[in-house]
């Protein structure tokens, strides 16, 4: 397992990231400070999380030099024009109170209320991408990428834009491993990031995964995080309690190849909205 990966532009990104989805803005600064103190050096947020102010405050109050913290945020999925995206990037910098962010992503190829629909918003995503390219060339962001993009969405950007995505952040966990998309990203030097490695907590009670965790004398959460890291992806677990934040960094074990193969073969149908 690598603790860092290299983007196509040469920038280094830590493979274990602290996710802040569903963390209230009022709680974010404390959680981020705790995560940094526990050893995290990659913090993931988004405009849609409504906690960028708290995240930025936590980074500032951590006492760690800015250049030693990798910060990711994301443009609202509903923003599908160049002007909206351009404005939102500046707003994120202001809310985070940072001179630059290390990585900014298009949060989704579609607005959330159309997620999974046939309309892929190809033309609109090209316009949003142009705003990201501009911010990158201006030094406002150190890297640019996408989230929830399928192969056809990535091809649209690669074939029509100046700079190809450096990252694709996608739902990936035991029981839901998009191997073909991971392979495609690797072939095109796009780093794959796995969000919700615990499957929105829907897989924590799975008997087979629990037995595997017991075998390695680790928690199910630790096994899930390690799994995504051993896929050579960036893992983005979320936790709010200090004990879980710390536990999720204790990954000093290795899942055997045969056990990785077993976990990769698992396929769960999960209703994440329940």
Selected catalytic residue, list 49, 70, 121, 195 = 49
Tell me, letter by letter, the H, E, C secondary structure of the chain: CCCEEECCCCCEEECECEECCCCCHHHHHHHHHHHHHHCCCEEECCHHHCCHHHHHHHHHHCCCCHHHCEEEEEECCCCCCHHHHHHHHHHHHHHHCCCCECEEEECCCCCHHHCCCCCCCHHHHHHHHHHHHHHHHCCCECCEEEECCCHHHHHHHHHHCCCCCCEEEEECECCECCHHHHHHHHHCCCEEEEECCCHHHCCCCCHHHHHHHHHCCCCHHHHHHHHHHHCCCEEECCCCCHHHHHHCCCCCCCCCHHHHHHHHHCCCCCCCCC
216 in active site: no
Supply the residues annotated as catalytic.
49
């Amino acid at each position: 397992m690598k603790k860092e990966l290299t983007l196509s532009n040469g920038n280094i990104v830590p493979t274990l990231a602290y996710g802040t989805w569903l963390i209230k803005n009022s709680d974010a600064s404390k959680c981020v400070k705790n995560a940094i103190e526990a050893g995290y050096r990659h913090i993931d947020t988004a405009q849609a999380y409504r906690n960028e102010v708290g995240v930025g405050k936590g980074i500032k109050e951590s006492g760690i030099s800015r250049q030693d913290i990798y910060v990711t945020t994301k443009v609202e999925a509903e923003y599908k024009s160049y002007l909206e995206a351009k404005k939102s990037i500046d707003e994120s910098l202001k809310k985070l109170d940072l001179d630059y962010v290390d990585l900014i992503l298009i949060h989704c190829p579609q607005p959330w209320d159309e997620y999974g629909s046939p309309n892929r918003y190809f033309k609109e995503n090209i316009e949003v991408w142009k705003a990201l390219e501009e911010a990158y060339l201006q030094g406002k962001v150190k890297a640019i990428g996408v989230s929830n993009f399928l192969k056809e969405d990535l091809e649209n950007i690669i074939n029509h834009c100046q700079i190809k995505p450096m990252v694709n952040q996608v739902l990936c966990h035991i029981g839901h491993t998009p191997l073909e998309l991971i392979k495609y990203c690797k072939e095109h030097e796009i780093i794959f990031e796995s969000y919700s490695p615990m499957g929105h907590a829907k897989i924590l009670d799975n008997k087979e995964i629990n037995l595997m965790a017991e075998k390695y004398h680790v928690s199910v959460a630790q096994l899930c995080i390690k799994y995504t890291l051993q896929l050579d992806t960036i893992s983005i677990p979320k936790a709010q309690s200090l004990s879980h934040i710390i536990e999720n960094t204790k990954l000093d074990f290795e899942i055997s190849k045969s056990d990785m193969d077993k976990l990769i073969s698992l396929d769960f149908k999960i209703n994440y909205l329940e």
